[in-house]
Amino acid sequence: MQNQMKISVTLITLNSEKTLKPVLEAVSWADEIVLVDSGSTDKTLEIARQFKAKTVYRAFDGYGSQKNFATEQASNDWILSLDDDEILTLELQQEIQNLNLQNTDFQGFKIPRSLIFLGKLLRFSGEYKRLTLRLFNRKYGNWNAEYVHESVEVNGKVGTLKHQILHDSYRDLTDYFNKFNKYTSLGAKTLSERGKTVSSFKIISRFPTTFLKIYFLKGSCLDGYAGFMWALLTAMTPVIKYAKLREMK
């Protein structure tokens, strides 16, 4: 193993027992696991203890600030930040462990991430091996403070890893809509605080344009039933977000 720098894995959780165990199993080699929980009432913390994770409570006030706080709780400068439903493939685990972080010219690394939806790995819906910055040196960056659709911002060179994270996010449609409601509310809150407004025409027209873009231009039609459902539900997201914004105004 070339990697001489210690890595802390950080996660934020809330009632994550259904997805957490395989996520932690895939990072059990890490020097430290930091888990910031916002009040789980299931077996999330029990699972975390099985992997000797450092657990900290913090009330949830947005994804960006919660992940930023998790970074601050880590003991090491190199951070691998994951969601509670993101599993590192064996190849990616080996690739990260073989990085020479002691002498690298990079301050962060983007990692390909692929979505598993309704039990199917989507290959043609624009969600296959999308790059996301998840491994970074906190001396040079951290998560921004966005309520939702947060991202890591690094001041320095960013490299790209070859192997992927599997994002097994939605176990069923009930799970999808629970998250859907939370994400659209946070998205509307963000727009409202920025003084944005929305017309009825934009709300009405956004659904067909988004659906056609995902289903045909991004090839979601080639992913079968799961691809159709992904295009349909993804096209609903901006419609409901803007409708909630309209309610706020």
Domains of the chain, each with CATH number or no CATH: 7-169 (3.90.550.10), 172-248 (no CATH)
Query: What amino acid occupies position 80?
Result: L
pTM of the model: 0.95
What SS3 class is residue 81? strand
* Predicted pLDDT at 6: 97
Question: For the chain, how far is it from start to end, CA to CA, in angstroms?
Answer: 56
Q: Rounded distance, CA 244 to CA 235, Å? A: 15
CA distances from 162 to 95, 113, 129 (A): 8, 10, 10
Pairing relation of β-strands 141-143 and 130-137?
Answer: unpaired
* Predicted pLDDT at 4: 72
Spatial contact of 61 and 2, defined as CB atoms under 8 Å apart: no
3-state secondary structure 160-221: ECCCCEEEEEECCHHHHHHHHHHHHHHHHHHHHHCCCCCCHHHHHHHHHHHHHHHHHHCCHH
* Predicted pLDDT at 107: 98
Is residue 64 within a helix (H) or strand (E), and if so which, with residue range? Answer: helix 63-73
* Predicted pLDDT at 103: 94
Q: Rounded distance, CA 91 to CA 109, Å? A: 16
Q: What is the DSSP letter of 44?
A: H
What SS3 class is residue 57? strand
Instruction: Tell me how far apart the 2 most distant CA atoms of the chain are, in Å.
Output: 57
Q: Average pLDDT by consecutive 10-residue portion of the chain (249 residues)?
A: 82 96 98 98 98 98 97 98 98 97 96 96 96 98 96 98 96 93 97 96 97 98 97 98 96
Determine how many CB atoms are found less than 10 A away from the CB of residue 62: 16
Q: Rounded distance, CA 36 to CA 45, Å? A: 10
Q: Rounded distance, CA 206 to CA 128, Å? A: 23
Q: Rounded distance, CA 135 to CA 6, Å? A: 12
What SS3 class is residue 12? strand
